[in-house]
Amino acid sequence: MSAKPIYEADGKRILVDYIGKKVPEALRLSASLSHRAAVVDQHSSFQDVVDSNPWLLTEPLVVKPDQLIKRRGKLGLVKVNADLAGVREWIGERMNKKFTVGSAVGTLKRFIVEPFVPHGQDEEFYTCIYATRSGNTVLFHHEGGVDIGDVDTKAAKVDIDISDSLSEEQARVLVKEASAEKQDLLVKFLVALFRAYTDLHFTYLEINPLVIIGQSIYMLDLAAKLDQTAEFICKLNWGNLTFPPPFGREALPEEAYVADLDAKSGASLKLTVLNPKGRIWTMVAGGGASVIYSDTICDLGGGRDLANYGEYSGAPSESQTFEYAKTILGLMTKEMNPQGKVLIIGGGIANFTNVAATFKGIVRALKDYKHLLIEHKISIFVRRGGPNYQEGLRVMRDVGAELEVPVHVFGPETHMTAIVSMALGKRRTPKSLVPDQPHILSQRLSPASSMGSLVEDSSDLKESSPKLSHRVVVQLWSSEQESALTETTSLFTSETQSIIYGMQPRACQSMLDFDHLCSRKTPSVAAMVYPFSGNHKQKFYFGKREVLIPVYKELSEALGKFPSVDVVINFASLRSAHESTIEVMQYPQIRTIAIIAEGIPEHHTRVLIKIANKKKVTIIGPATVGGIKPGCFKIGNTGGMTDNIISSKLYRPGSVAYVSRSGGMSNELNNIIANKTNGVFEGVAIGGDRYPGSTFLDHLLRYHDDPNVKMLVLLGEVGGTEEYKVCEAVKSGRIFKPLVAWCIGTCTKMFSSEVQFGHAGACANAKEETSEVKNKALLEAGVHVPDSFDTLGVLIGEVYNQLVKAELIVPQPEKEPPTVPMDYKWAQELGLIRKPASMMSSISDERGEELLYAGMPISDVFKEEIGIGGVLSLLWFQRRLPDYACKFLEMCMIVTADHGPAVSGAHNTIVAARAGKDLVSSLASGLLTIGDRFGGALDESARQFSSAFDSGLIPMEFINKMKKENKLIMGIGHRIKSLNNPDTRVVIIKDFAKKYFPATPVLDYAVEVEKITTSKKPNLILNVDGAIATCFVDLLRHSKAFTDEEAQEYIEIGALNGLFVLGRTVGFIGHFLDQRRLKQGLYRHPWDDISYISPEELLNP
C-alpha cells in the first residue's frame, strides 16, 4: 500500500518544518509560516497538554477532530474562537462518542487544538496538489473555505511534468485572480510548497482555507496523503508518523501486529478487520485473489457477515504464516455466533510460493486453536494450486481429521471461488479427496492428460457451476479489417534473450526449463548481473544438459558480451530498483524491462515511465511477477512450476492474449483460458502499483494487431482510470476483436469506509475508479463483461466457441512437449526420492524458522535464562540438566579459563600472537598443546578413579596397582600447589559438589587417595583435573539425567576434556588480545635460558 492519509497535525508539522528549514535557501520564505497545535486524544491528560502548550491559556482557540473526516465544518465538528475552558468542555462532550459521517459510524477520540486566526473572506484561498501518471497537478482558487464548491471546474490548474518543479511563472498564472498585494507571497509559498510536496513524497495535499494576513501564512485546514513506500527515504524528515485507519474503522492491535510482521518481512501480509462479529473470515493468498474472494462473498449476499479483508503473498515463511493465521483465528474466536462460522483459506495458482510450506504454518495455528474451532462450530474451506500444492492440500485434509473439524479441500481443478458458494450454502459441497502421494509424474504429464481431480465427484461441480445471465453475441470481423492493421513488433520471440539483474538462480532455472519445454534451441537467459560479487559462472540445466551462465559485476560488461540481448529482468530490491533501471535504460539495445520489486516509491516509478517513453522502452511492472509468451519466452517465475506450464498448455501458443494487474491472478487466467480455449498466446501482469510502467491499453493494442491473436482478455481492478482508455478504443473501433473484461473489487460498495486492498493501486479515490462503474462503462462500450468473476471463464469459453464456429480460430492437434527432468531438490521436497545422508547431527537444527538446540527453540533458551551451562547441557548432552549441574558446568569453565602466561598453551598463544598470526591461528597453537601432560587429563582421570572405585579397590590398593603398572595417577600432583599451598580452585569445586550434588562417592574416593599420596609428598594433591573429573563422574551417575550406560559413554568419548578445552579457550583468546593491545613485537627466547650442547658433549658426557 503506497498512498496513505495522515493526521492533519502531522501534515502541518512536516510541511512547516521542511519549508522553514530544509528547502533550498532560494525557496525559503521571508513571511511567517508557523504551526502551533496541541493534540488531545483518549489517553491524554488535559493538564499535561496545557503544560506542554502554555499558549492555550492566553489565546482564542479552534478545536476539531483529527481523524480523516471530510467537511468537518458542515458536520458541526469545528468549534472556533473558544477559550480553554470552552475547548475542554467541547471535547469532553464528544470524546469517545459515536458519530456518523455518511455511512460510516465511528468514535471521536482524537482532536487538534490550534490558535484561532480571525480573518476575512478575501484572505482565504484554496490550493491542492495531486499526483498523476505523468507528473503532478496544482490547483489554486482565489476563494477558499467551506463553501468553495466544485473546485475541479472553478480552480486554476497547471500540470507539472514529473521531472520539473513549479516555476514562479506557472505559480503567477495560478494566482492571477488573487488580490495584487498578496500575489507575490502566494507565488513564493506555492513554489516552496510544491518543492516540499515532491521532496517529502506526498501524493495528495489539499489546504482549504489557506489564509494570508499581511506577511503571515496560515494553513487552517489540511488533508494529505504520503507515499508510505518512501519511508526509507523520508523517515528523518517525516519524524514519528502514524498512518491512521479511515474514520469508522477502529485500528485494532491485531492489525498493528500484522502490519509489523509485514514491515519485517520480504513477503506481503495484510489484515483489515471489517466486522469483528462477522461469521465469514478469509485467509487468502495473493493481492488479486483476496479481492476476488471478497467480491464473491458480497455477490452471494455475505457482505454484512464478511469479517475481514487480508492477504498473504510473496512466499512468506512457515513461521510468518503461523503468526498471521494465529492472529486471524484469535480474532475469529473472540465471540460466538449461533450459526457457527466459516474460514475460507483460498488462493489462485501460485507462481513460486511453496504451498505446502505456507500451509504448514496455517496447520500449526489450527492445531493451537483446536478446542476453540470446535466450540465456535467453525467450518473450513480450502482451495489452492501451485508448487507442491498436492502435499499442502493433503496436510490440510489430515489436520481436519485430526482436529475433528470440517475441512473441505480442493485444488486447481475447482474454480477458484467455488468454495465461497459452498461455504455460504449456495452450492452442495462435494466430498474432497486429496491424493496421499504427490503426482510422481507431474512434470511429465501430457497436455491432454489431467492433473488429477482432488474432488471425488467433480461432475457435481460442473452441474452447479454458474451460468451467464445474458446471451453472448460476438461481433465478427473481416479479413480486410485485420489486414489493414499495422504490423507490430513483438516484445518476445523464440529467439529473445535476456539478462537477469540480481542473483536469482531459481528464476533462471525456471526460465531455462520453460525454454526446453518450448523446444528453444538456445537458453533465454544469456547472463546475470550481480554487483556484489566478481565475475564468475553459475551452473544450470537446459533440459538434461548442464550449461554455464556467466555472472557479471557490471551491466555494461554483460551487455557488451551479449549485444543481442534486448530484455532485462530486474530483481533489484525496492531501494535500488529505480537506480538500476535508469542504468539499464542507458543502453539502446534494451527494449523491454521487467521490474519485479514491490514497494518502489511512486515518484521514482513515474520518473522511470517518462524516461522509458522517451527511449521507447516497454516497462512491465513494478510489483509484478512478469509475463509469458507460450512457445517463446517467460519472465522469471511467471507460470509457476513445470507441471502447471504443461497443464495450462503454456509451452505452445494459443489464440487468446490477456493483460492483468495481478501476478497471482495471471496464473489463474492461464488455467481458465487453457480449460476454456485453445490456450494463451501471450499474457502480461502489468503490476499492482498505482502507476504501472505500461498500461492495459499498451498491451491490448499490441496483442490486437498481431494476426495470431483472435480474442483478448482484460482483468482490471478497483482504482485508477486506465480501463476507460480501453473503452474509448473499443467504441472508436480501434479494437474490434472480441474483448472479455472484468474489474475486480466490486465489494467496495459494501464497505462503509475506504479499504486499501493488497495492491498499492487497488483503492478508489473517486466514483469513476470503482469497479462497478468501470464494469458498466466497459459493457456499454461493447466489451464482453461477465456477471461476476465466477462467470468469467464461462464467458471466455462462449466467446471462443463462437470464434471457432466462425472458423476465425482453427484448433490444432496437441503436441507432446519434451520431458523436463525434475530437479533433485524439488523431488526430495515432494518426497519422491530418498538418499542416504552424508552426515548426521542430533544436537541442533537450523532448517526451520528458528534455530533449535536439542529441540529447544533459541527463543526459549533466552526466555528461560538457562545460561551457558544450560546451552552446554543441550548441545553436549542433548537434554536439560538440573540447575546445579548447569552451574557446575559454568564453574568448570571459570576455574579452567586461565592459569597465567607461563603454562604451555598460553605461552604458545602468546608467541604466535607476537609473530603476527591471526586470532584463530594463535588460538590453535595454544590448543594443540593440550594433552595428557597439560590440561587433557580429565578423561583419563575420570576413567582411572571410576574404574578403581567400581572394582572395589581400596585407595591404597589402587595406588599400589598404578605403581606396579608404572602409570601415573591422572588428576594427582601439581608443580606449584601443595598441602601447604592449596589450590583454591579445587577447594571451590569440592565444596560446591558436596553442597549440591545428590552424592559424591567417586570424589570422596579421590580425596582418600590424596591423603595417601600427600603423606609421601605434599604436592601430590588432587589437582583441578582430578577434582573436575571425579565430580563429573558423580554428576553423570547420580543426577538421574543419564542411564548408567550413557554415563559411561560420556566418560569414554572425551566429554570431560571438552570442559578444559572450552574453558581454556577463553583464556587463550584473552592472551591474544592482551598481546595485540600491548603491541608486543616478535618473541625471541633469551640465550641465557637455553643450554647449548654440542654433539660431542652428548657423545662424551
State which H helix or E strand residue 541 sits in. Answer: strand 536-542
Separation of alpha carbons 250 and 272, rounded Å: 10
Hey, what's the cell of 284? 487468502
Burial status of residue 425 (CB atoms within 10 A of its CB: 0-12, 13-18, 19 or more): exposed
Which residues have CB under 8 Å from 327's CB, separation 6+? 254, 257, 258, 271
Beta bridge partners of 107: 98
Beta bridge partners of 161: 135
Q: Is the peptide bond before 209 cis (omega within 30 degrees of 0)?
A: yes
Separation of alpha carbons 1089 and 522, rounded Å: 74
Cα Rg for the chain, rounded, in angstroms? 38
Residue 610: strand, helix, or coil: helix
Asked if residues 658 and 687 have their Cβ atoms less than 8 Å apart, the reply is: no
Q: 384: closest CA among 395, 374, 376, 373? A: 395
Separation of alpha carbons 698 and 692, rounded Å: 11
Separation of alpha carbons 345 and 325, rounded Å: 10
Hey, what's the cell of 830? 515432494
Separation of alpha carbons 696 and 718, rounded Å: 14
439 tagged catalytic: no
Asked if residues 609 and 635 have their Cβ atoms less than 8 Å apart, the reply is: no
Cα 368 to Cα 256, 363, 808: the distances in Å are 22, 9, 57
Which residues have CB under 8 Å from 96's CB, separation 6+? 42, 107, 108, 109
Q: Which residue has the cell 497537478?
A: 137
Which residues have CB under 8 Å from 200's CB, separation 6+? 14, 15, 18, 226, 234, 237, 238
Which residues have CB under 8 Å from 60's CB, separation 6+? 81, 82, 83, 115, 116, 118
Hey, what's the cell of 1099? 657423545
Catalytic: which of 759, 784, 974, 1071?
A: 759
Beta bridge partners of 39: 112
Which residues have CB under 8 Å from 578's CB, separation 6+? 600, 601, 604, 605, 607, 608
Asked if residues 619 and 612 have their Cβ atoms less than 8 Å apart, the reply is: yes
Q: Which residue has the cell 459494501?
A: 750
Q: Is the peptide bond before 622 cis (omega within 30 degrees of 0)?
A: yes
Q: 885: closest CA among 902, 867, 907? A: 867
End-to-end CA distance of the chain: 92
CB count within 10 Å of CB 633 equals 28
Q: In this structure, what are the phi and psi dihedrals at residue 675, rounded to the nearest 5 degrees?
A: -80, -25
Q: 324: closest CA among 472, 661, 332? A: 332
Asked if residues 535 and 600 have their Cβ atoms less than 8 Å apart, the reply is: no
Which residues have CB under 8 Å from 807's CB, separation 6+? none
Q: Where are the beta strands (DSSP E) in 42-88?
A: 61-65, 79-82
Separation of alpha carbons 561 and 559, rounded Å: 5
Beta bridge partners of 628: 634, 683
Q: 935: closest CA among 843, 1018, 1058, 824? A: 1058
Separation of alpha carbons 672 and 44, rounded Å: 55
Residues marked as catalytic: 759
